Amino acid sequence: MPQQGDHGRGDTGRPGGRTRGARRDSGRRQWAWIGAVALLVVAVVTAVVLVRPPDHHDDRTITARRTAAAAFPGGLAQQPVQDNQAGRREADARAAGDTSTAGRLAVIADQPVATWLTDPDETATRQVVRRVVRDARQQGRTPVFVLYAIPDRDCGSYSKGGTAERDYLPWVRSAVRAMAGSHAVVLVEPDSIAQIHVCERLGADRLHLLRQAVDELTGRGLTVYLDGGNEDRVPVATMARWLRQAGVDRVQGFATNVSNFYRVDQERAYADRLADAIGGDPHFVVDVSRNGQGWRGTWCNPEGAGLGQPPHVTRGTTRLDALLWVKTPGLSDGTCNGGPAAGQWWESYALDLVANRRQD
């Protein structure tokens, strides 16, 4: 080796050669040791970089989002006569000769409204789904369904109920089979995620159950939105984390303001913040069925509420896919402020919503 040859020459021929050679040899060994340590440090750093856990965004598989037009082909379908609650009351009023009431109820009946699936009975649910899908196909438009039968629904409050724990996924599976390939829009369990914030017993089990429901809903020719709460309910970072756990990366996005009263500008601003926090550009829809007068101080049958703007699909230039009438105007929120049981028709309230509707 070169170092060995240099060492031999420096060790002979003149006094002191061995001492100087020893010093040179010691210095070279010191530099070799330093070089070896440096190489080891580089190797360790490289290994750490290669094996460090990826950023939480790096390992996510995110579905391709559809355009608004692709999510709602043909636009929004109206409900069949049998499922149009305002339409049935309008017909009753006309039959009784009350054209004034009939004309006001027609303001609700003439708009496309989502169909809620709340009956734990699988056979009854399939019948509703098939009827709505068949009617929407005849219109050449898109039906909107709301799944609302999750176990411990509404955390025991006004809309309590739902399926038994063991029956929920078979119920979802049955409903999905009836709507598969229909291009229907499905809103999954309003309140189911946001309510975790105040009903701690729901917790991780609820999110796991929703993720399993997403498994049943994806790949079936449907457009799916999860529960996104509303702008004054759950901190954005928390809601984003819960939505990711529930499987939002695998669906079109989330729905906000369902059965609530916040203005569109408020909800859009909230939904955009939430979409940014989730990452992956999820889209969203907003319920505008009763927000024509904005927030009225309570979510439960507030006085002075009015119909919002007519439901419609957007032009698709933003993440907002559609403004929907998700809640059926005229159905009670519960036995509060003089209302009947949750989900029951309350005609005087329906007429007030028409009287106070947004006019622009």
Report the catalytic residues.
154, 191, 333
H or E element in which residue 78 lies: none
Residue reference for tokens 């909107």: 144
Phi, then psi, of 285 in degrees rounded to 5: -125, 155
Q: Return d(Cα 239, Cα 244) in angstroms, integer.
A: 9
Given phi > 0 = left and psi -120 to 50 = alpha, else beta, which region is 148?
beta
List of residues 6+ apart from 319 with CB closer than 8 A: 253, 271, 272, 275, 281, 282, 283, 284
Q: Return d(Cα 99, Cα 109) in angstroms, integer.
A: 14
Phi, then psi, of 306 in degrees rounded to 5: -140, 160
Sheet with 320-324, strands from edge to edge, namely: 115-117, 144-147, 185-188, 223-227, 253-256, 283-287, 320-324, 312-313
Beta strands in 178-252 (DSSP E): 185-188, 223-227
Are residues 191 and 154 in contact, defined by beta-carbon separation less than 8 angstroms? yes
Are residues 233 and 193 in contact, defined by beta-carbon separation less than 8 angstroms? no
List of residues 6+ apart from 195 with CB closer than 8 A: 154, 155, 202
